[in-house]
Chain A
Amino acid sequence: MIGAGLRRGDKRRLVPRWLDPHGRHLGSWAFVANRLTGLGLVVYLYLHLVILSTLLRGPEAWDGMVELFRRPVFLAFDLLLVAGLAFHGFNGLRVALVGSGLLVDRHKALLVAAGTLVGLVTLVAAVRIVG
């Protein structure tokens, strides 16, 4: 029997339906991105608390950790974090507005505006991180 999760062929049976925006419109991509960034931010929150706990092990431990996070790969993660945070925030505002029945006819324009703001914030963050 074909279940709700099947999109294209048997190989994708394991992909949840909501996580498969293949061939879909912009709204589905925004929905998937919002959910993934939300999950990513939750993971980051716990990771952040774990990293902060190195303060309990003294200044040397903390300084070592800070030095580690100055490596390019971690700076790239920082940028990804800023982009994810900006998307989740700006798209969240769009969802709150449209989801309350306001500016419903402008939901696509609001998504474009959110995307533009995410791009700008990420660009500024990149300049500051690299600089």
Chain B
Amino acid sequence: MNTPRTVLFKVLRTDPAAPVPRYDEFRVPVGSRTTVLDALLAVRRLKDPGLAVRHSCLHGSCGTCGMRVNGREVLACVTRLQELGDPVVVEPLAGARVVGDLVVDMEPLYRRLEPVGRPLLRASERAGPDRAEAAAAPGTGPVLEELERFEDCIECGLCLSACPVAGDPRFLGPAALAAAERVLEEPRGTEGRAVLGLVDDAHGAWRCHLAFECSAVCPAGVDPGGTIMRLRRRLLADRLPRLVGKSHPHQEVPS
């Protein structure tokens, strides 16, 4: 009988009450289809019930199990251990406050998305303006059934963790900038000029340094880096005619 293959897991543990994080090691049996999340849940079930891991859908849709595995941002639920070496080093996402072990505070990502109108989830055309307005009325909150996600972004935060300059909280970040470009591409009633003014800033689209790490790690294929470059092209096309004292008839931003 064959002995099951095992992999050594080194998990960065953070107790908010303790001053210094530490690596704990666990040896985990793995099969050909075992994912990083499977292994972490096995650790929690069999070896350390205190291990903090966040997950939900288990198939790469919800974006809640983002973490760094061997230094790269991944969704743990769709990353198979067979693709990794031994040992496997697991750490929380960078650039965010660690709530505990592998769970980080996602508030900075959502805070960055707010100024661009949080366009990732908007009233669908099917819902109609009246119902969408009712859904967004103060005190009631949006009714999810009446909203329709039409973007690929799953708000996992991997792009913020991978971006070398997103440690600065003033930077809007890849997800929000990509969302802004999407708004400008398809306004659906959003004030385009305001969004354009927001991203035309030293801490907006011009802060990106073209490392394209966001695009490399994005599990949903959004290509935030390429989208930010398209946003810059839009900004230049808007700025240049004004610099020479002409308005550009083809670059009017819809409002």
Q: Tell me the A residues contacting B by CB distance below 8 Å.
A: 1-2, 4-10, 17-18, 21-25, 27-28, 30-32, 35, 95, 98-102, 104-105, 107
| Stretch of B15-23, B55-63, B138-146, B242-250 on the interface side | B15-23
Q: Which residues of B contact A9 (CB under 8 A)?
A: 12, 23
> C-beta contact mask, B205-231 vs A, less than 8 Å → 1, else 0?
000111111001000000001100111
Q: Establish whether residues B95 and A4, one from each chain, have CB atoms under 8 Å apart when the complex forms.
A: yes
Q: When chains A and B are docked, how far (Å) is the Cα of A6 from the Cα of B104?
A: 13
B91 and A8: CB pair below 8 A?
A: yes
User: Which 6 interchain pairs have the tightest Cβ spacing?
Assistant: A101-B233, A23-B71, A4-B167, A27-B212, A18-B164, A27-B211
Taking Cβ atoms with an 8 Å cutoff, the residues of B that contact A are 12, 14, 16, 20-21, 23, 70-72, 89, 91-92, 94-95, 97-98, 162, 164-165, 167, 208-213, 216, 225-226, 229-234, 236
Q: In the bound complex, do residue B229 and residue A98 qualify as a contact, i.e. CB atoms below 8 Å apart?
A: yes
A104 pairs with B229, CB closer than 8 A: yes
Shortest CB–CB separation between residue A107 and chain B, in angstroms?
7
- Beyond A4-B95, A8-B91, A27-B213, 11 additional contacts (C-beta under 8 Å) are A2-B92, A5-B167, A6-B21, A7-B94, A9-B23, A24-B162, A28-B211, A30-B210, A99-B208, A100-B229, A104-B229
Min CB gap B128→A, angstroms: 35
Q: Which of B12, B167, B210, B233 contacts A17 (CB 8 A)?
A: B167
Q: Output the nearest chain B residue to A24 by Cβ-Cβ distance.
A: B213
